[in-house]
Amino acid sequence: MTERMIVVGADAAGMATAAQARRRRDRNDLEIVAFERGHFTSYSACGIPYWISGLVPEREQLVARDPETHRKQYDIDVRLRHEVTAIDLDRREVVARDLDGGGEVRERFDTLMYAAGAVPIKPDWARTDAAGVFGVQTLDDGSALRRWLEAEPRPRRAVVVGGGYIGVEMAEALVLRGLSVTLLERGEQPVSTVDPDMAVLVTEAMRGLGVDIRTGVEVTGLAVRDGRVYGVQTDAGHLPTDLVVLGLGVRPNTALAEAAGLPLGPTGGIRVDRRMRVTGTPGVWAAGDCVETLHRVSGLPVHIPLGTHANKQGRVAGINIGGGYATFAGVIGTAVTKVCDLEVGRTGLRERDATAAGFEFVSVIAESTNRAGYYPGSRPMTVKLIAERPSGRLLGAQIVGWSEAAKRIDTLAVALWNRMTVDDMTALDLGYAPPYAPVWDPVLVAARKATDALAR
């Protein structure tokens, strides 16, 4: 009898799983049905700010594989605008609602892939049907925002709530579209993924771009008239606006999983093993932004929603479902972003993470340049390293610079992944030429400084 796999969520993790499983098993052996509540499959949510800004001209450029490609090339039954509303593990079936045609369908499964992603964090004040309030979690969200930006009368002012990656990227995108932008962050700094001494560099760059950054500000409500937002209420007063973008972060989308009895970990994500099998639940797999995974440095469970992890986890799950063997080795928290021309990268632990994990450590900041100082285009670069005391093992790194900064974090990520010490790193044989690096690369300068700090 043909085995049947149901996929809940047809984006990165879900369709990577389905494609890998299909490569190993044909339709006569494995039937695959994928449910997706939106209008798109396999797209880059990370690219939405660049489409909003106009740097990416067409929405379709963000779609890696459309539904027809999955149907024809991979023989996957993709059902768009179908929202799975229940999972019955005893009956081995899912219930899905047709969001356009109405009605409900029930489909049996032998294997279930839960890849429902993450959902935006929304405090009570953000739960509104008012026009002009947008998230940017999905391509459908981005499409709605683009329509608002292009409708008459054109909006002139925007408030972005939240200073994480999405918040700062959307602030830049809206500035590039000619809007006056205010970014509100209730913490002491935007971009809390880096330490405060590095975040100040990002803040200065954003203010140089024209973004009005206000930290330590708590949003308390929205001002709405005739069903349309016209202002944001905060504990520091009222801000008039023509649109609001929510960038308050996300949490694992696990409501269905929890209702079905799937186990959740301390981060709120689904607990899976190294092969992406849901713990203690035969025939059920999960991957992507809805799961928690192991941080290779701290040894603690973490929830880090990134498309890179989702694709890798989906590939691992698909290989295993297809009869092969693969494992997901965990994460170290590597991420990069761009704020105007400033590049920001981080990997591993921040100072507060290292403290929470119980490490004794030193941290150093090294100032250098991206290229030889005499070569045209040479710009400042700041590298921060955190190393365990007394072993010298690298625990984390952050880089802020104007060019060739973000990709240097990959060098540090490889060192971190392989448990190198900062002393080991001082001898790395890195590429050198004046257009690309000084004689002493910024990574090596920082490693030397950390080594010296450990010797004191």
User: pLDDT value at position 407?
Assistant: 85
| 326: in domain | no
- Residue 329, domain member (yes or no): no
Residue 429 placed within a domain = yes
In the sheet that holds 228-234, the strands lie side by side as: 219-225, 228-234, 237-240
Domain count, the chain: 3
Q: How many Cα atoms occupy the beta-carbon half-sphere of 147 within 13 Å?
A: 10
Among 204, 233, 248, residue at a domain's last position: 248
Do residues 187 and 277 both lie within one domain?
no
The residue with tokens 């920001």 is 344
Asked if residue 416 and residue 313 are part of one domain, the reply reads no
Q: Is residue 223 part of a domain?
A: yes
Q: What is the pLDDT of residue 161?
A: 97
Do 298 and 395 share a domain, yes or no?
no
The rounded distance, in Å, linking the Cα atoms of 113 and 197 is: 42
One domain for residues 115 and 224: no
Question: What is the extent of the structural domain holding 222?
Answer: 122-248
Report if residue 150 sits inside a domain. Answer: yes
Find out whether 314 and 287 touch, Cβ atoms under 8 Å.
yes
Domain termination residue (choose one: 248, 278, 306): 248
Q: Are 215 and 189 in contact (CB under 8 A)?
A: yes
SS3 content of the chain, % helix, strand, coil (to 5): 30, 30, 40
Prior bond of 153 cis (ω within 30°): yes
Residues counted in the chain: 456
Residue 294, in any domain of the structure: yes
Same domain, 397 and 311: no
On whether the CB atoms of residues 142 and 40 are closer than 8 A, the answer is no
The token duo for 64 is 């890696």
Residue 46 catalytic? yes
Cα–Cα nearest to 441, from 413, 415, 416, 404: 404
- What is the CATH number for 241? 3.50.50.60
Task: Tell me 154's DSSP state.
Answer: P
For strands 380-388 and 301-302, give the pairing. unpaired
pLDDT confidence of residue 306: 93
The two tokens of residue 220 are 């308390």
- For 235, which DSSP code? T
Catalytic residue (one of 39, 44, 46, 197): 46
Integer angstrom CA distances of residue 415 from 285, 326, 347, 367, 381? 31, 23, 10, 20, 19
Helix (H/G/I), strand (E/B), else coil: 275? coil
- pTM for the model stands at 0.94
Q: Where are the alpha helices (DSSP H) in 235-285?
A: 255-260
Do 258 and 205 share a structural domain?
A: no
Tell me the three state secondary structure of residue 208: helix
In the listed set 211, 227, 248, which residue is the last one of a domain according to the structure? 248
Taken in order 54, 57, 58, 59, is the CA torsion positive or negative?
Answer: negative
Q: From CA 305, how far away is CA 160, in angstroms rounded?
A: 20
Secondary structure of residue 172 in the 3-state scheme: helix
Whether 236 and 278 share a structural domain: no
Identify the pLDDT of residue 340: 79
Question: What is the distance between the alpha carbons of residues 441 and 257, in angstroms, rounded to a whole number?
Answer: 47
**Domain presence at residue 10:** yes
225 and 259 together in one domain: no
Residues 6+ apart with CB under 8 A from 363: 195, 351, 384, 385, 386, 387
Distance CA 318, CA 306 (A): 18
User: Are 152 and 244 contained in the same domain?
Assistant: yes
Together in a domain, 88 and 126: no
Per-residue pLDDT of the chain (456 residues; tens, 9 = 90+): 799 999 999 999 999 999 999 999 999 999 999 999 999 999 999 999 999 999 999 999 999 999 999 999 999 999 999 999 999 999 999 999 999 999 999 999 999 999 999 999 999 999 999 999 999 999 999 999 999 999 999 999 999 999 998 999 999 999 999 999 999 999 999 999 999 999 999 999 899 889 999 999 999 999 999 999 999 999 999 999 999 999 999 999 999 999 999 999 999 999 999 999 999 999 999 999 999 999 999 999 999 999 999 999 999 999 999 999 999 999 999 999 988 788 999 999 999 999 999 999 999 999 999 999 999 999 999 999 999 999 999 999 999 998 888 889 999 999 999 999 999 999 999 999 999 999 999 999 999 999 999 998
pLDDT at 36: 98
* Residue 17 CB neighbours (<10 A): 35
Residue 277 forms beta bridges with which residues? 285
Using DSSP's 3-state secondary structure scheme, residue 232 falls into: strand
**What pLDDT shows up at residue 56?**
95
CA distance 49 to 344: 16
Q: What integer pLDDT is reported at residue 176 of this predicted model?
A: 94
Assess whether 150 and 113 both reside in one domain: no
pLDDT in tens, 433-445: 999 999 999 999 9
pLDDT of residue 70: 96
Quick check: is 45 in a domain? yes
